[in-house]
Amino acid sequence: MPLQRNYRFVFKNELNDTIQPDQLKLNARRWKFDTAGAIQFESSETLIYNQTGSLVDNAFVAITGIDNSTSGFLGGSFMIRCEATGSSTTGDLICFYETSTDNGMQFDEEEDLTVGDNGRIVAILSLDTVGTGSKSFRI
């Protein structure tokens, strides 16, 4: 599946601890075909998301929707980085990929319009000690 015109990522914290600001980041290096039909990569890695608030255990956070209509990226390599917050940190950080068919007004949400696990799981980052974990995935 290629990157859609409007998409976003949603994270669910199942780490049994709160993720603090600046401890969760998502970077990407996306690609598309140029006019000659050759693969053209972004010139450098792009920071797509940096957690600015606290994300408590068993909560979701959705990044701002990405409008892909101008750049026209078809795919990319993505890297999640998350720092464990303490000795009780153990579990998973789940990343979902959601799309929109109405120019980013509404994403893969349920009828109650809540952010949740409505998209496609693209990565699971498991952490079990203090330190930084990372997980890469491709779309």
Q: Which are the contacts of 112, defined by CB distance < 8 A and separation ≥ 6?
A: none
87 vs 134, residue with greater confidence: 134
Q: Where are the domains of the chain?
A: 6-138
pTM over 0.75: yes
pLDDT over 90 at 128, yes or no: no
CA–CA gap between residue 48 and residue 73 (Å, rounded): 14
Mean of the pLDDT values across residues 23-29? 97
pLDDT tens-place string over residues 52-73: 999 999 999 999 999 999 999 9
Q: What percent of the chain has pLDDT over 90?
A: 70
CA–CA gap between residue 98 and residue 71 (Å, rounded): 18
- Specify the CATH class of 6-138 in words: mainly beta
